[in-house]
Structure 1
Amino acid sequence: MRPEAESSLSHRTGVPRPGCAERIGLARLTKAAEAGHDLRPLWRRLIARLLDGTIEAGEGLDLSVIAQLLGDKEAGLAIQHTILASHQLFRSPCAARPPGLRILALAASTDIGSNTPIEFLLERSGIELTTLYVMPNVAWPDWLPPHDVAMVIASDSDDCRAALDKIAHAAPNWPRPLLNLPEFIGRLDRDKLHGLLGGIEGLVIPQTRCVTREQLLELSQSASALSGLAPDLAFPVIVRPRGSHAGKGLAKLDDTNAIEEYLSEHAEDLFFVSRFVDYQSDDGLFRKYRIVLIDGQPYACHLAVADRWDIWYMNAQMAASAEKRREEETFMETFDAGFAERHRAALSALAKRIGLDYFTVDCAETSEGSLLIFEADNTAIVHDMDPPDIFPYKVPQMRKVFDAFVAMLHRRSGRPAEAAA
């Protein structure tokens, strides 16, 4: 694809231009579900249209999202596979006509958690979002929809690798600025991140190894075998299935006996293993922070506080504790002069090594004051779905994040916000 490819292809005659199917989109459907709206009537209407062959491509993709939101991932992916076999371009709702900017998102055919949920960032921005699903066995379209900037939103998961490889091959000649290059996304997996970030002063990231089920069984026979996987590996260890997120399958194993018990409850073939770092604060609680980095600058996304080490926002029960929410509010209000300043050098070095234009980091602080890294991800959800009557302080904070993302898109496109049309 030559630099002039977009303009030349858009004016070719005799080349059919694939239409951009209109969709409700992930953000609106997820927000409806979170607000308690019953999506099943819409599901029934759309599934009837699918079965009688009258469903539109955008409706089919929405049906796939609804199925996954209702807990049927397998059905959702099957529907998505059917739709994407014949249509790959989709347009999300835009808050402005004409749009202030146009972005093309390059996605993989995967579940709703494995592409950057970019709609949440753009919902009220006036930026037009078109998503192109990159299919390994489907040629690039002869015509690309007009866009000012493009962004890779596929993750580093196994089912996205073929799409990332295809994008990487086309990236050097992409006709517009391309953000979140695939070669950088491919370095985010847990067993690669330690090598990328190791040695940064003020930053701690335990070495993570990917092991087979058979290797875990061998470890259950001898605690000394742990050191053969990684020099710093000793009980207790953290284990999780490879590719899992949001704490699914996550466990702390204190001895060899715990390995056998763990494997009896998990049938996966590949696992990540790392040493456990105790990040408990002096008050006996654990604190996990989500930071979003946009063009190298850190922004507070959330703080989860709980009395358990295996913490994420959903199990911290923040809505039930005014004290926890006050702490999160203070964290957000003082972030620039507090957390971000304490870890300024570590966050700056981390952003440079990871190299992505947009990504999130889940982290904590050790008792020595270092930044403890759990995970870096380009697909973690950054949203404004928390009820404003319970979390009023999140409204201005998330607006700050969304505005920073939009400002970055304008800068990278070369079109200042006031000049874009």
Structure 2
Amino acid sequence: MANTPFECLLENADLQIDVLYVDAQTEPNLDVPDHDVMFVAACASDDNARALSQIALLASGTDRRVLNRPEGVACTAREAAYRLLGGVTGISMAPTIRISRARVMELLPGGPGLSQVSKINYPLIIRPVGSHAGRALARVSDTPELMAYLNASEDKEYYLAPFVDYRSADGLFRKYRT
């Protein structure tokens, strides 16, 4: 669930798709199959960083169009996307921060050296860094819920974002990407 399901995007297209799987150990001088267009289907994640570097090397060797260039994929990470697009007129998006478990604990009431309770604003959304498709995603309404979430998790880093109630008039939530 971490990469673009390009097969679904092109399932009824009248074209040939050759897939080249790349990881951190892929040789940079690998022969890339003959192609008209190269489409990079890897997402921004810590786990993909080295693979994206390898893909960038492979893509630099083609004289054909490259869609979703690996150098730009990092701009799609949760916190980077907000920095890039959060202030654009007409775009509504919650600010997302990447934060360590230790830092979350410091911000909680009673945390080390903390004298103000207002350091964390509720409700918020929390998820482990590297999770996708809603895995371990939670809406947290108060400090006891956040503590329960952290106590049930072994992850060391999280994404935090304010909860935004973006239900449509019919009461349903929809996620759009364009």
**More helix per residue:** 1
RMSD: 2.1
Alignment of 1:132-211 (within 5 A): 132-211=20-99
Q: Distance in 2 between matches of 1:116 and 1:253?
A: 28
Q: Distance in 2 between matches of 1:143 and 1:193?
A: 33
TM-score (structure 1 length as normaliser) = 0.38
CA contact (8 A) 1:212 1:271 kept: yes
Alignment of 1:122-141 (within 5 A): 122-141=10-29
The match for 2:112 is: none
Q: Which has the higher contact order (CA 8 A, sep 6+)?
A: 2
CA contact (8 A) 1:194 1:205 kept: yes
Gaps of 5+ in 1: 1-112, 227-233, 294-421
Question: Match for 2:51: what amino acid?
Answer: A
TM-score (structure 2 length as normaliser) = 0.84
How far off its partner does 1:223 sit?
Answer: 3.1
Question: Match for 1:264: what amino acid?
Answer: N
Distance 1:182 1:138, change over 3 A: closer
Question: Match for 1:171: what amino acid?
Answer: A
Q: Distance in 1 between matches of 2:59 and 2:29?
A: 15
CA contact (8 A) 2:139 2:163 kept: yes
Q: Distance in 1 between matches of 2:103 and 2:60?
A: 40
Q: Distance in 2 between matches of 1:167 and 1:125?
A: 25
The match for 1:223 is: 117
Identical positions, percent: 35
The match for 1:245 is: 132
How far off its partner does 1:281 sit?
Answer: 4.7
1:287 matched to 2:164: no
CA contact (8 A) 2:126 2:137 kept: yes
Question: Match for 2:37: what amino acid?
Answer: V
Question: Match for 2:23: what amino acid?
Answer: M
Q: Distance in 2 between matches of 1:223 and 1:190?
A: 26
**More strand per residue:** 1
CA contact (8 A) 2:28 2:54 kept: no
The secondary structure found in structure 2 opposite 1:132 is: coil
Distance 1:206 1:114, change over 3 A: closer
Q: Give CA deviations for 1:180-215 in whole Å, capped at 9, x if unaligned.
A: 101221111111111110221122212111111112
Q: Distance in 2 between matches of 1:256 and 1:245?
A: 24
Gaps of 5+ in 2: 110-115
CA contact (8 A) 1:217 1:259 kept: no
Q: Distance in 2 between matches of 1:255 and 1:274?
A: 14
CA contact (8 A) 2:41 2:68 kept: yes
The secondary structure found in structure 2 opposite 1:288 is: coil
